[in-house]
Amino acid sequence: MSRLQQCFARKRTRVLNVYCTAGFPHLDDTLGILRALEAHGADIVELGMPYSDPLADGPVIQQSNAAALANGMSIPLLFEQLEALRPAVTLPVVLMGYLNPVLQYGFDAFCARAAAVGVDGLILPDLPEYEFEHHYGPVIRRHGLDFSFLVTPETSEARIRRLDALSTGFLYAVSASSTTGGDKDMPQVADYLARLRGYALRNPVLVGFGIRDREGFLAACRQAEGAIIGSAYIRALEAGGNVDDATRRFLQGILT
């Protein structure tokens, strides 16, 4: 089994996936943050590859992307940093980003390098389903990487089932059709997640966008296998201080 499959086999509820931006708040913080997230209770890390136009992300993560780029982060440098990833960090690491920088790097070369340094999966929100199925999906699978599609409350049942069939690792349930970090109507989200659960999907479901505290995390986990927290963690890192201490305090607030 892949690390993601092992994670969901080992822990079937309250799976916590934490997003962080590579090269933020400082260029060399990436590995230290990954170690801290593992040490203090995260189950999966979604590692953002900074991009100048992250359309799916709200202002907090957009700002972290801009800061990381200003720090000098790039895909080649990120891969250099991740050469020390394994075995220092054992939890699953998923790269999240946008298609254009990956194509500039070279899609096959990118997947090969990601697999070589121990990355487990990819999230590319702007990769179209058709392009994935006919061009890029076979490359991703050949290199042993998982891939997660995003679904929203407006996604039809037929399309949800199709994206679930194409995804491996987990299905990313966007809590609303907006950007990350915004306020969400959790009762309405609960109805949407209950609908997803009723479909008996093949993949575990993780809920993202607008999950910022223990209350939101537990609410999401009542209907899904877990949740993804990003903007709130970025704010915790922005506050400054020791990365390990900031991560410990943040995760304690979510998990205890």
List the strands of the sheet with 205-208, edge to edge: 146-147, 121-123, 93-96, 44-48, 15-21, 226-229, 205-208, 171-174, 150-151
Quote the distance between the C-alpha of residue 62 and its chain's center: 15
Q: Are 7 and 15 in contact, with CB atoms under 8 Å apart?
A: yes
* Strand ranges inside the chain, DSSP E: 15-21, 44-48, 93-96, 121-123, 146-147, 150-151, 171-174, 205-208, 226-229
Angle between helices 75-82 and 107-117 (to 10 degrees): 20
Amino acid at 254: I
Considering 29, 38, 43, 46, which one is annotated as catalytic? 46
Does 46 participate in catalysis according to the annotation? yes
Q: Which of 29, 57, 120, 146 is catalytic?
A: 57
Give Cα 203 distance to the centre of its chain: 15
Which single residue is written with the structure tokens 């304690």? 252
Active-site residue, 146 included: no
The residues annotated as belonging to the active site are 46, 57
